[in-house]
Amino acid sequence: MKNFALGALSIVVLLSIAGAAFYWGAQKAPPTTNQPNTVTLPQAKETNILPPNSLAPTPQSNQVPNNQPSAQENLKQQIMAVLDTKNFAAIQGYMAETVFVRLEASGCCGPLDPFAAANQLSYLDTATGWDFNPSNPIIQNLAIASPDYYGAGWFVGVADNEFICSFKFNSNNKIEAYNLGATYKLLIP
C-alpha cells in the first residue's frame, strides 16, 4: 500500500509541475491572431529606392529645418539608385502617364506608357559608373551641343563607359521625358 500511495503522489506532483509549466508558458507567449501565415520572399537586389508617394511634400511649420532633400532632389537620387542597381522596373512609379523616350541615333521611341518606358531603360544595362555632376566637362559639352535634350532643365548623366542619359521632370516631379545614348561621342567629339 505504501508503494501505491508513493506512486499516486508522484503522479500528482508530476501533473502539478506540468500544469504549472503550461500555465507559466501560456502567460509569456505572445497573443495569437487569426491571420494566415505569410512568407517573406527575399529580394533579388537590395536598393534604397523609396516608394513614389514618399516624394509628396510635407506641410512646413515653424520647426527647425530637417535638411530633407526636396522632392526633385529625392527623385534624382532614386534615378541614380535605379541606374546603379539596374532595377529599372522600380522607376515606373516616378513616371508621368506618358513618357517621351528618345534613343540617340535611332528612330526609337516616342511617347510610351510608364511600363514600356521603364523597360526601355534596359538599354543602359551595361552602363557603369554614372556621374551626374553638372560641372563634368562632358555634361557641359552635351548641354552646348544639344541643349534641347541635355541642356537647362534636364538631369544629365554620363557613364564611365560613355553611355549618356538625361531626364526631364514635370511640375509634379514625375519623369515626363528621357534620352539615352550608347556614347556621348554621337553628339560631341
CATH number assigned to the domain comprising residue 79? 3.10.450.50
pLDDT at res. 34: 45
Residue 99 lies in a domain: yes
Residue 175 lies in a domain: yes
Residue 19 lies in a domain: no
Question: Which of 140, 136, 137, 181 is closest to 163 using CA atoms?
Answer: 181
Residue 131 lies in a domain: yes
Residue 5 lies in a domain: no
Residues 6+ apart with CB under 8 A from 118: 88, 89, 91, 92, 95
Boundaries of domain holding 107: 69-186
pLDDT at res. 180: 96
What are 22-71's pLDDT values in tens digits? Answer: 444 545 444 444 444 433 434 444 445 455 544 444 445 455 455 667 88
Number of H helices, E strands in the chain: 5, 5
CA 182 to chain centre: 24
Residue 59 lies in a domain: no
Residue 133 lies in a domain: yes
pLDDT at res. 38: 39
Residues 6+ apart with CB under 8 A from 81: 47, 48, 49, 87
**Taking the complete model, does pTM exceed 0.75, yes or no?**
no
Strand blocks (E) in 2-160: 95-103, 109-112, 154-158
Count of domains forming the chain: 1
For the chain, 189 residues long, give each residue's pLDDT as a single digit of tens: 666 555 555 565 445 554 544 444 545 444 444 444 433 434 444 445 455 544 444 445 455 455 667 888 999 999 999 999 999 999 999 999 999 999 998 888 999 999 999 999 999 999 999 999 999 999 999 999 999 999 999 999 999 999 999 999 999 999 999 999 999 999 997
Q: Is 50 helix (H, G, I), strand (E, B) or coil?
A: coil
Please report how many Cα atoms fall inside a 13 Å half-sphere around the Cα of residue 41, on the Cβ side.
Answer: 3
